[in-house]
Amino acid sequence: MTDFDPNGASPFAPKSSSGPVSRLRNYFLTGLVVAGPVAVTLWIIWWFVTWVDNLVRPIIPAAYLPETYLPITIPGFGLVIALFSLTLLGFLTANLVGSRLVGLGESLLNHMPIVRPIYRTTKQIFQTLFSGSESSFRHVGLVEFPAPGMWSLVFLTQPPTAPIAKHLPPSEHVSAFLPCTPNPTTGFFFYVPRREVIDLDITVEQAMSLLISAGIIQPGSEDPQRKLAALAQTARAAQAARQTAPSPAN
């Protein structure tokens, strides 16, 4: 296994006494650290664009598709159409006529026994995630779970409403979502007494990075870009030292 320097030095940093094979290994790992996140990010973006294209393109008439007139398929055309359609829908909904049509459609869905609970739940989730209200995940805390002395990250939202609060013990409670690692979209939801929550001074994004990486990426740790810059500087210094070192006597 690779030994980590307790002073924070990168384990990939080449040493002056290392041989050519070790230096090549260090350079390869450095390149992997630089290119890996970029490759994964580009792959996720490409997957999302392709997924949206596959959903939207079958709806568009062939006469309006670029590949009808061009010898190649333009990726992202379906995504552009989806963004434009959603923006247009929001614009139409904001005016009087659009709001009436939306209200008519919601009234129709609310009278469907099976569709009604699905629609209401989905609408509340989207309103919570994409609104600027206090009900979205804005605070991160610690709760003692799953055993005494063990602490887990939770995302805090709003207090329970009156129909639920009246059945809880007489103290202040908050809604808490405890995500799982490494997939934070699943987890446990519960109401916890406010006094048992330790507030953390970190952002939701930092908490997500901590969960997805299973603790590898810690909040407040050194910036990876600074680590890479220090690594490159160490490599250049080692190379300069080898070049200026006197040749051994024959």
pLDDT tens, the chain, 250 aa long: 444 444 444 444 444 445 788 888 888 888 888 888 888 889 989 999 999 999 888 888 888 888 888 888 888 888 898 889 888 888 877 776 667 777 787 788 778 888 778 877 777 767 666 655 544 566 888 988 888 888 888 988 778 888 888 888 888 888 888 888 877 778 888 898 988 888 888 888 888 888 888 877 777 665 555 665 666 666 667 666 666 766 555 4
Query: What ranges make up the beta strands (E) of 7-147?
Result: 139-144
Query: Residue 237 in contact with residue 194, Cβ under 8 Å?
Result: no
**pTM for the whole structure:** 0.52
- Token pair for residue 141? 């805390």
Length of the chain, please?
250
**Pick from 79, 34, 27: which is nearest to 53 by CA?**
79
